[in-house]
Structure 1
């Protein structure tokens, strides 16, 4: 059988292949299928089938991403932004964050402790470096101040 024969791989088969390797967000799967040059109707049908069978689930995907990202030391602000970029709805993001029950202040403190140890920053330059690191990780200013033990009078 040659490549141009009548046996064409369907969008659903390709979608199942992607989903068998790892979870995907719906938007991410749509983009991959569009990259394979399937028509919009065929993509919509494949996505609908995957949703109906539970193979594609943005809530499950979001929960997985949040758990893994917390383990990597990321903060809520960065996580929310990355999930929005992946096309996850605000409602699902909020629900998953309510379910995960993380104390973001303690999480920030743990991340700072893993990165910097127990030593205090002795120079202004070192304090700024630590603050920028925590900010990049996605923690807000109150969480960073708590984690780095920065007082308002400093």
Structure 2
């Protein structure tokens, strides 16, 4: 006899998925991974997730928008956000479209992030300037130029 897992029925899988979605938006692949970690069979989890998508309760587009907003408010730029969304299983085309439609002045955000981290301004020392540029690239602002 096979041991009973916590997520051995469609209702249990759906309930677990809904609990996760109640906390925050998730991408389809992120939610699938979490359900599998909790003991759900992949096929059964995919069926329930497809039902959640059909019911409008799970949406990669909504996840992408919420993620972009939250992370940009914390000072992360488009390059970093694009990579993070890719790692979370969001389709490249959806990420590109959402970034293009996202109402954010990336240049102004980059300037605010730079000014907060480096209140002394642009370094004249090449080694220190290199550190500043690496920081901005790490934050997702690849072509940033400080005044």
What TM-score results when the alignment is normalised by the length of structure 1? Answer: 0.82
Choose 23-32 or 118-127, whichever is displaced more.
Answer: 118-127
The aligned counterpart of 1:104 is 106
Cα shift readout 1:31-79 (whole Å, capped 9, x = no counterpart): 1111122223311221012111211111111101101111111111111
Residues 10 and 109 of structure 1: CA distance in aligned 2, closer, same or farther (over 3 Å): same
Superposition CA RMSD, Å: 1.8
Aligned length: 140
Whole-Å separation in 1 of the counterparts to 2:122 and 2:23: 44
The aligned counterpart of 2:94 is 92
Q: Which has the larger radius of gyration?
A: 1
Runs of 4+ in structure 1 over 6 Å off: none
What TM-score results when the alignment is normalised by the length of structure 2? Answer: 0.86
Segments of 5+ residues of structure 2 without an aligned counterpart are none
What's the offset of the Cα at 1:90?
1.1
Question: Does 1:49 pair with 2:51?
Answer: yes
Segments of 5+ residues of structure 1 without an aligned counterpart are 150-154
